Amino acid sequence: MPLGPDEISRQGIFTTMSTPERRHSSVPLAVIAPRGEFDLDSLPPLQAQIDTALVDHTGVILDASGITFADSMFLRLLLTTHQRTDLRIADPSETIERLLAVVGADAFLRIYPTVDQAQNT
């Protein structure tokens, strides 16, 4: 069941929807900006936000600038999301950059320095 705005705010997840201007398509991507720490216990609300966003959008831009901790379960979430849709990671925090580099996921995930660049690619 999707979370309501109050529950999402309590979980530290902020979502905005955006329609990027793209050369080949005008299909909107959802921008999700999670904040804080993400592990097994705190991932369900983020997963719900991604699932909800994909009902009306063809992909997700994850603004990862506010993530202060992420474990292997967060990495699993990224990889499964990447397999099922157009996942773009924007402005990754040092924590996320390090996690992705250690496992080599930075070699195949789409990572951008800013949300704007992720939208306009």
The residue ranges of every structural domain in the chain are 5-119
What tokens appear for 78 in the block? 């990224």
pLDDT in tens, 52-67: 999 999 999 999 999 9
pLDDT in tens, 69-109: 999 999 999 999 999 999 999 999 999 999 999 999 999 99
- What is the per-residue pLDDT for 121? 85
Question: Coil, strand or helix: which one is 15?
Answer: strand
pLDDT of residue 18 exceeding 60, the answer is no
Kindly tell me the sign of the dihedral angle through the C-alpha atoms of 19, 21, 27, 29. Answer: negative
Class of domain 5-119: alpha beta
In contact, 14 and 44? CB cutoff 8 Å: no
| pTM (2 d.p.) | 0.78
